[in-house]
Amino acid sequence: MTLYVIVYLLFINIVTAKINGGPRGRFDDNHARPHGYVSTHHPHYTYHPPNHIYFMCKQCSSLVAYPVYHGTPPTYVYKYREYGGRYGDLLSGLALYNLGRASNEQWHYTLYERRPDEKCSLQIVDQNLFEETTFPCLMMSSFVDSSNNFLKNPHPLDITTAQINVRALVHNNGTVIKVTKDQECVIWHNSTIKNEHVMIPCALLKNYADTMRPHGLPVYVWLPLTLATVIGIYIFCQSCFTQKKSHIDETPCNPTLTTSYFSNNNTVTIH
């Protein structure tokens, strides 16, 4: 009987631990490490960036080092990364590239003043392909020329703030074409004063997006595994009990196993 309780408690413990991973968007504690190295844990993604991103652009003859953001990525980056698909990748990549540029010592663009008339969009340009999607302008702050002479607003937005909620409204009309090395991504910052644009290789944005990786096993993998383990332990202990009965053996069923589980779990004590 005790055995059933042990197996049941073990199962409940594993399942609740998994569920405590939290709803989407909840963040576990961040673990800062020496050398300014930060790795962030999110229920679905881990940010564990390299020191630099090396990328060979079409006109370049050698790899160029691009700045990487080493802080905790704000929520909008995860939001786009979670969105997935081609735009989710490109826009989360753009947000990370922008954060890398803004937080690099030469740049002082982490403070951003939103303008009421501004609009930003990303276009993917290929020989026979043109797609466009809009995104919040704070995600290209370091590319906006006019962001240097701002600060009329006493409360500019710090783009590194942990919690910046955006609505990741990406219209996807079914044309999912893979990002190739040759495609150019054009980011536009349009306002009533002027329309500015910057060309970035789409593959570079993809490289930035790839510094944020999915982690953890999906439910359809861990649940069957957990069940299999529990059933395995149950069957093992069943046979253990049967042996015990037939041999009239005084040693308890698998003592090391039971005590180790209970030493991990302070709420139950065995006597």
Ligand X SMILES: *[C@@H]1O[C@H](CO)[C@@H](O)[C@H](O)[C@H]1NC(C)=O
Q: Which of 41, 48, 119, 244 forms a contact with ligand X (CB under 6 A)?
A: 119
Query: CA–CA separation, 61 vs 77, rounded Å?
Result: 31
Q: Which of 131, 136, 170, 206 forms a contact with ligand X (CB under 6 A)?
A: 131
The yes or no reply on residue 190 touching ligand X (CB under 6 A) is yes
Assess contact for 83 and 168: CB atoms under 8 A: yes
Q: Which of 87, 112, 143, 188 forms a contact with ligand X (CB under 6 A)?
A: 188
Q: Which of 67, 142, 158, 143 is nearest to 104 (CA)?
A: 67
Interface stretch with ligand X, choices 8-16, 65-73, 94-102, 128-136 (CB under 6 A): 128-136
The residues facing 32 across adjacent strands are: 38
In the complex, what is the shortest distance from the CB of residue 150 to ligand X, in angstroms, rounded to a whole number?
20
Interface stretch with ligand X, choices 36-44, 57-65, 127-135, 146-154 (CB under 6 A): 127-135
- Token code pair at residue 82: 């979670």
In the complex, what is the shortest distance from the CB of residue 184 to ligand X, in angstroms, rounded to a whole number?
14
Q: How far apart are the first and last CA of the chain?
A: 15
In the complex, what is the shortest distance from the CB of residue 54 to ligand X, in angstroms, rounded to a whole number?
31
Rounded to the nearest angstrom, the gap between the alpha carbon of residue 106 and the centroid of all alpha carbons in its chain is 27
Give 57 or 125: the residue with its C-beta nearer to ligand X: 125
CA angle 211, 144, 187 (to 5 degrees): 60
- Token code pair at residue 83: 């969105």
- Token code pair at residue 218: 């999906």
One-letter identity of residue 196: E
The yes or no reply on residue 62 touching ligand X (CB under 6 A) is no
Number of residues engaging ligand X in binding (CB under 6 A): 11
Residues 144-183 contacting ligand X, CB under 6 A: 173, 175
The yes or no reply on residue 132 touching ligand X (CB under 6 A) is yes
Query: CA–CA separation, 165 vs 140, rounded Å?
Result: 16
**Chain positions contacting ligand X, by CB under 6 A:** 119, 121, 130-132, 134, 173, 175, 188, 190, 195
